[in-house]
Amino acid sequence: MNPVLLPFISYAILTTFTPGPNNITASTLGARGGYRRAMPFLTGMTAGFFTLLAASGLLADFILRSYSAVAPWIRWLGVAYMVWLALSPLIPHGRPKDGETRDPRFVQGFLLQFINPKGILYCVTLYSSFPSLLSGSTSRVLLASLGLAALGFSAVSLWATTGAVLKRFLGRPRSRRVFDAAMSLLLLWCAWSIATH
């Protein structure tokens, strides 16, 4: 057995399932509209995450050399987006007009991955720490990316399902405000920890 397999699995599972922009957003969407309505956003997240993983693996040398130059920009874009995500549930939006939908979209979930500092750092860390497992050939990179994206989908699905289970409890306005405030505080904490590290 490869000696880095257990550290890799531990890192992948712990990092994928802990709170971050994807998981917190998935939980909030599940609580607001249920799992089924969150599905386009979740599949967008997964497709974007797969794309980010595959690109990171295929361009690992270039990304590892360039990361230090672009990291501050990614970090601050990600922090700004997380603050916006954190504050948006607390801002009244009014009711949608007829024919207008506020359901999350695939494209929004997809694009989130490219300004998600946790996801980008995850990819860079994986390919710099575990190259013997994840790189070496195009097929190995794509297979690893597919497996890690599936793990990511299971994480956001779990968080969205948890939110959906809480939906009945969150039907009361006071409970909804408490939940939205808790999710907002978690996102603000993520943004703060990224901004300060």
Q: Cα(128)–Cα(66) distance, rounded to whole angstroms? A: 13
Q: Cα(34)–Cα(16) distance, rounded to whole angstroms? A: 21
pTM to 2 decimal places? 0.77
Q: Cα(189)–Cα(184) distance, rounded to whole angstroms? A: 9
Instruction: Give 67's pLDDT tier (boundaries 50, 70, 90).
Output: low
- pLDDT per position as a tens digit, 130-183: 888 888 888 999 999 999 999 999 999 999 999 899 887 777 788 878 887 887
Residue 97 confidence (pLDDT) above 60: no
What sign does the dihedral 112-100-188-38 (CA atoms) show?
Answer: negative
Q: Residue 110's pLDDT is what? A: 94
Q: Give me the residue spans of the domains in the chain.
A: 5-12+22-90+103-196
Q: Quote the crossing angle between the two packed helices 35-58 and 117-129, to the nearest 10°.
A: 40
Task: Spell 70-103 as b/e; 16+ CB within 10 A means b.
Answer: eeeebbeebbebbbebbeebeeeeeeeeeeeeee
